[in-house]
Structure 1
Amino acid sequence: MATILLAPLPVPGHVNPSLRIARSLQRGGHRVIYLGILEIEDEVRAEGFEFTPLFGDVFPKGKLTELRATAARLKGLRLLWFLRTQARCFNEALRRMVEGEVDALLARLQPDLLICDEKLRHLAIIGHGLDVPVLQMNVTIPPEFIPRPEGASRGPGRGAAMPGERLLMALGLFPRLRPALLALARKHRYPLKNIETVPMLDRSLSPELLLCPKEFAEVRVRSTPGEYCYIEPCIDHERREPEFPWERLREDRPLVLFALGTLAATSKHNLRILQEAFLAAARRPDLQFVMVVGSTMEPAMFDVPPGVIAVKVAPQLGLLRKAAVMVNHAGTNSVKECIAFGVPMVSIPLQFDQPDIGRLIELHGVGRTIPPPEFTADRLLEALDDVLQNPAYKKACEQLRVHFVQAESARGAAGPIEEFLARRSATVGERRRLA
């Protein structure tokens, strides 16, 4: 039995797929311990896993939720002052990380493997320095796998440094992530790549764990052996979902599920898109719309047409079992969940990796993509009619679904991870013997 630390980014789109990995490893007899801020403790423990907190005094329970809500509400100088105070919190955690607080924690837990989010590269470097095998959990698809048309852009923060990041750091408005990463790399003798632009980990030392079968990720580009570890889609069918007024669903109308993810409120397009979507729903009473407005908004903010079900959050897996089509944000988890249930989609890529995943949707032929600036009620209804009436979209979903089912039934998430651990543990053991 191995002791495996699992450290996802503390947002639902990263925590949810990690639960599937944790369950698969736990069923294989391994001890799984989650590592993270207190924001995710209750959810992790409710799912039956151990939890070890990081920087609990800096990030008390509820801190991250409060941070998002406040940042969405403030404007101008008040927002800048708020960002400055929050950057200080992150910088304190980074300082303590460089000084060895996480090293001591890992030494106490003595893990055989660290699976950390690829956004938490600092943890990966520390693990490597302590001779702990590391996998970087990547909940999306590497940008180099998805060809871009000339002039097409990736979302903010995807595959490049944030614009003005160094200036923002100098003004105290952005955490000092880069200096801390470089300091940890020197301390632990980790050979970072692209130091002059965007420091990246060496995938030959810390491979990326991709939460999908290879057939989903590699459409036109093939990966380098040893840099990626493919597993199943990691859709946690056992996760707890919010309550929903199921009695209000109409069985005689195609169900359109509209949900733009947990971080949609950070996009400048979100409110307008929701308003246009409600207009579209009002014009099509022959369809049953379930509109998810997000946790930072209230359904009462919108003119909800008769027959439309508007909620803050929804049981996405349960609704996908009944849906004819989903309108989503091209979030990787939502896209995979649609494919798992054979549901074609219309995507509105808002930010981050979503423009890339929107292109992937069209490359696979499982749906349509509408750029946010071009989104209108008319465009949505045209795309919905196309997807609902053209059987090719659903057929493409079903073809990909076969690969998903095969990956899940073969060895689950645990199999490839156990194989990596066996190989890497042997390498580490040999290095220690020769030292």
Structure 2
Amino acid sequence: MAKIVFLPLPEAGHIHATFGLAKQLASRGHEIGYMAPPDGEAFLRHQPWPFTPILEDVLPRGYQAELHSRLADPDLTPAAHRELTREFIRRRGERNRQILFGSAFESRLRDSGADLLLVDATFTLPALAAHKVGIPAFQLCTNLALHRDAAVPPLTSHHIPTGQLRSQLRIRFSWEWLYLHTFMPGGERMRAPVREFYRRHPDASPGDFHAHLQIGPHLNVPTLVTCTPGFDFPRASGGIHYLGPCVDRERTEPPLPPELASGDAPLILCSLGSHGDRVRAHRHFFQAVIDAVARRPQWRLLMAVGGQVGTDGFGPLPPNVTVVDRVPQLTALKRASVMITHGGLNSVKECICLGVPMIVYPLVFDQPGNAARVVHHGLGLRGDIRQASVERVGAQLDEVLGNSAYRTRVQTLQRDFLEADGSSLGARTLEQFLQHPETRATPRHQRAAT
């Protein structure tokens, strides 16, 4: 049995997305641990695995909450916003240098006793640091793969590939445009310490910046994706290992509000995820959903709006609408007929695992690409949150709830998801790597292209 240590970003979506895989591994006798800046510990409070804080001086406990709170302050001046941004960039640069060159982080890695590190693919620098102490490290994608692929557009793109020349050129241009941005001042600040690291450690795992949504290079180590290929677009590149959705479907959640716990009325679940409440402009979208459902009294709506928007900002609510700060998502999906979602991969996978069609209003990061896949596979519809109106939202709900083909297609992929997790595909894949070290060896003859 092995000791496997996760190094996620200290955010709810990134940490929660690892629990399904961690439980698979633990059930098969492996020892599990977590390492992250102190703010990550709160998301592990109810889990049995030990947590090791890192980078406490650069990212002290409470820093993220304070930053988001100050940025959300409606009285924040432009000068204060610029100062917050400069301080954030300074801390990020210091974090990167401590990961690559700091003795404290290297010591934590040595003391971890890990046989394998699973490093968040959106922040790959710890995988380079692991090279110095001789611990194998893989890139764990809690989203879909982030490196360049000739057949697949970046996840930040709404484009659905068709295989035609025009689509191929559009995909190529999108990747070239993203790569050029890595030479801008912000990208150069990242490249400089990475180049320095490779000068000191020329035999480290090769990497390049032909990727997106990654802090650091994409490395030539196994890329593990917590999904199945059935949801992804067909890819031209290899080296990707799909672990199954790794959804923790047994997690403990509070019950639904009593008025929603039962009944025959179709339940619509609406949530924009853990970051969706930070932009006050989303209030008009929430109001459009409320008004659309108000015109259809045969339905019920459960909407999570988050703490920044607040539950008291919508006036008197219709009797078939319930608005809360946070929602027990898995519990709600077991009752839901459709989910209106931002399209984060965690939410999309949970919808599929529970057989629930979606209407996706993507916001940022990988959400446009996830929404494109939802549409491509016929699992639901997508919309533009800037153009959301009562009429458009209502028409989309009428279409998805009135056409059983969406649920049928979701249920087809649901079987694929449940079979993968039921067979512990993720844990078995990692065990194969651990049993056959030659399959994870990095070709030392390849030069790092940074």
The TM-score normalised by the length of structure 2 is 0.84
Residue of structure 1 in register with 2:384 after alignment: 371
Residues 114-164 of structure 1, C-alpha deviations (whole Å, 9 max, x = no match) = 10100111111112343322211111223646453559899x999936969
Counterpart amino acid of 1:183? E
Q: What's the offset of the Cα at 1:31?
A: 1.3
Q: Is the 8 A contact 2:278 2:308 kept in 1?
A: no
User: In the aligned structure 2, how far is the partner of 1:196 from the partner of 1:213?
Assistant: 20
Q: Is the 8 A contact 1:213 1:231 kept in 2?
A: yes
User: In the aligned structure 2, how far is the partner of 1:164 from the partner of 1:80?
Assistant: 22
User: In the aligned structure 1, how far is the partner of 2:341 from the partner of 2:128?
Assistant: 34
Residue of structure 2 in register with 1:89 after alignment: 91
SS in 2 for 1:57: coil
User: In the aligned structure 2, how far is the partner of 1:220 from the partner of 1:280?
Assistant: 36
SS in 1 for 2:221: coil
List runs of 5+ in structure 1 lacking aligned partners. 171-175
SS in 2 for 1:324: strand
In structure 2, which of residues 234, 253, 261 is the aligned counterpart of residue 220 of structure 1? 234
Q: What's the offset of the Cα at 1:264?
A: 1.7
1:251 aligns with 2:266: no
Q: CA 1:306 to 1:376, structure 2 compared with 1: closer, same or farther past 3 Å? A: same
SS in 1 for 2:339: strand
Q: CA 1:163 to 1:307, structure 2 compared with 1: closer, same or farther past 3 Å? A: farther
In structure 2, which of residues 106, 110, 113 is the aligned counterpart of residue 110 of structure 1? 113
Residue of structure 2 in register with 1:71 after alignment: 71
Residue of structure 2 in register with 1:139 after alignment: 142
List runs of 5+ in structure 2 lacking aligned partners. 154-158, 161-166, 445-450
Residue of structure 2 in register with 1:173 after alignment: none
Q: What's the offset of the Cα at 1:186?
A: 3.2
1:318 aligns with 2:321: no
Residue of structure 1 in register with 2:301 after alignment: 289
In structure 2, which of residues 221, 224, 240 is the aligned counterpart of residue 209 of structure 1? 224
User: In the aligned structure 1, how far is the partner of 2:271 from the partner of 2:381?
Assistant: 15
Counterpart amino acid of 2:235? V
Counterpart amino acid of 2:382? T
Residues 364-391 of structure 1, C-alpha deviations (whole Å, 9 max, x = no match) = 1000011223221211111111001111
Counterpart amino acid of 2:119? C
Q: Is the 8 A contact 1:133 1:421 kept in 2?
A: no
Residue of structure 1 in register with 2:312 after alignment: 300
The TM-score normalised by the length of structure 1 is 0.87
Q: Is the 8 A contact 1:241 1:314 kept in 2?
A: no
Counterpart amino acid of 1:94? N
Counterpart amino acid of 1:96? Q
Q: What's the offset of the Cα at 1:55?
A: 1.3
Q: CA 1:430 to 1:294, structure 2 compared with 1: closer, same or farther past 3 Å? A: closer
Counterpart amino acid of 1:407? A
Q: CA 1:427 to 1:192, structure 2 compared with 1: closer, same or farther past 3 Å? A: closer
Q: What's the offset of the Cα at 1:92?
A: 2.7
In structure 2, which of residues 406, 410, 415 is the aligned counterpart of residue 393 of structure 1? 406
Q: Is the 8 A contact 1:146 1:359 kept in 2?
A: no
Residue of structure 1 in register with 2:6 after alignment: 6
Q: What's the offset of the Cα at 1:45?
A: 4.3
Residue of structure 2 in register with 1:274 after alignment: 286
Q: What's the offset of the Cα at 1:269?
A: 5.0
User: In the aligned structure 2, how far is the partner of 1:222 from the partner of 1:91?
Assistant: 34
In structure 2, which of residues 367, 390, 404 is the aligned counterpart of residue 354 of structure 1? 367
